Amino acid sequence: MTTADDVRTAVSLAAATLRTAAGRDWHVPAAGLTWTCWETVEHVADDLFAYAGQIASEHTPPGAYVPFGWRRNRPDGPALTIYSEDTKNPEGLVQVLESSGGLLAAVVTVAPPERRAFHPYGVSDPAGFAAMGVVETLVHLHDVAAGLGLPWAPPEDLCDRVLRRLFRDAPEPYGRWETLLWATGRGELPGHPRRTDWKWDGTPI
């Protein structure tokens, strides 16, 4: 089962990797996306915050997200509730990411396991939202790391837990990070062509 500790681990590893690129241009495109590396990190922070919001309330809308306000900084950028105030300070952006990850981990820790909340990929529970946060962090850091020229290879056991929770049909006999990239349309596996249309299953096991 994916836990709050997994969220903390994923975000901590992501933050440490991003801090090695403090002097690089974060406004170059992230790999495979129309967003910049900066926007992609903001998107991850925004998702972590939004997932925390979904399971924090006892009265979450049954068929919709909690209606936080949001904006786009440009037409092709991500829709964001959470973003960094200073667009030239990478350390501030990393702190925003860490803070959002901390919020999700904290809410996962205290939310009743029977709580359910909306997600378009399946109404889910706290453990499911933890897994979603981990996936968002791991795979989008792949996109950012490729754009910034950084190495990024998260732990195999962490990848395995989120695969078993959200991608239950994923093939078994391959590396778990390699398989997670395939499951999210970012790679190929032998006998399994690259996915062009994918989603996870967030419903509780």
The fold of 4-183 is: Four Helix Bundle (Hemerythrin (Met), subunit A) (1.20.120)
> Per the structure block, which two tokens stand in for 149?
């020229």
- Examine the pLDDT at 77 and tell me if it is beyond 90: yes
pTM of the model: 0.97
Q: Tell me if 146 sits within 8 A of 17, measured CB to CB.
A: no
Neighbouring CB atoms inside 10 A of 81's CB total 17
Phi and psi torsions of 150, nearest 5°: -115, 150
- Examine the pLDDT at 39 and tell me if it is beyond 90: yes
Amino acid occupying residue 22: A
Q: How many helices (H) and strands (E) does the chain have?
A: 6, 0
Domain locations in the chain? 4-183
Q: Summarize pLDDT for 14-34 with one digit per residue, the tens.
A: 999 999 999 999 999 999 999
The 3-state secondary structure of 46-59, one letter per residue = HHHHHHHHHHHCCC
Q: Summarize pLDDT for 104-136 with one digit per residue, the tens.
A: 999 999 999 999 999 999 999 999 999 999 999
